[in-house]
Amino acid sequence: MQRLLPVMMRIQAHLDTDLSLKRLAATARLSPYHFHRVFREAVGETPKQYTQRLRLERAAHRLILHDATVLDIALDAGFQNHETFSREFKKRFRVSPRDYRAWQRRKLPGPEECVALEESAGDFQLSATRVRRLEYHGILRLFAPFGRERTERDLKSDFLRLKQAAEGVARGSAPSA
């Protein structure tokens, strides 16, 4: 799964670019065949199905929020034409993009209802969030500063510092610098 996380992040960040199996497999440093098999086993969808689902879901959000034409949204979602987009959209959501937009916009509250909601919300406070348990899963590597290679020892020492800080906060003491 460690090899797949960067690939999944790349897919989500670059939905409008070329996400061929060969390119994604190269990102994971696996052969296309092995990558396809590992990805489907871990995610439950093939890379193509995963990419297409994310593109369609993003397009569904854009249909609601933007006044762009269905063609513009289809092209932005990475489809070659609006016919293919409409067919896949209807297969996924069981309604055409135009009908989906109209249906979702009818469900949105009007300006009068939004004002009533703001007035009824009143004052509120967020509760304090505490870290109960922190485990090392190798994910810290994704958030390492750019410009230098992080070693496994660096990551583990970062993890231990974070864990000690979290334990100190849980006990009520100030974290040490």
pLDDT digits (tens, 9 = 90+) for 116-140: 445 544 554 444 544 444 444 444 3
Using a CB cutoff of 8 Å and minimum separation of 24, what contacts does 146-149 make?
none
pLDDT at 34: 92
Label residues 131-163 b or e (16+ Cβ within 10 Å = b): eeeeeeeeeebeeeeeeeeeeeeebeebbeeee
pLDDT band with cut points at 50, 70 and 90 for residue 109:
low
pLDDT tens-digit profile of 54-106? Answer: 999 999 999 988 889 999 999 888 888 889 999 999 999 899 999 999 888 88
User: In this model, does residue 36 exceed pLDDT 50?
Assistant: yes
User: In this model, does residue 16 exceed pLDDT 80?
Assistant: no
pLDDT at 96: 93
How many residues comprise the chain?
A: 177
Phi-psi category of 122—alpha, beta or left, where left has phi over 0 and alpha has psi -120 to 50? left
Whether the pTM exceeds 0.85: the reply is: no
pLDDT at 7: 87
pLDDT at 79: 86
> 81 or 145, which is more confident?
81
> 59 or 107, which is more confident?
59
Tokens found for residue 129:
């969030």
Query: Mean per-residue pLDDT for 151-172?
Result: 64
Label residues 7-36 b or e (16+ Cβ within 10 Å = b): bbebbeeebeeebebeebbebbebebeebb
Query: Mean per-residue pLDDT for 147-161?
Result: 59
CB 32 within 8 A of CB 25: yes
CATH topology of domain 4-109: Arc Repressor Mutant, subunit A (1.10.10)
Residue 79: partners with Cβ closer than 8 Å, 6 or more residues away: 55, 85, 88
High-pLDDT (> 70) share of the chain, %:
62
Query: Mean per-residue pLDDT for 16-33?
Result: 88
Query: Mean per-residue pLDDT for 109-118?
Result: 53
pLDDT at 5: 85
User: In this model, does residue 169 exceed pLDDT 50?
Assistant: yes
Q: Where are the domains of the chain?
A: 4-109, 130-177
Question: Cα(124)–Cα(29) distance, rounded to whole angstroms?
Answer: 49
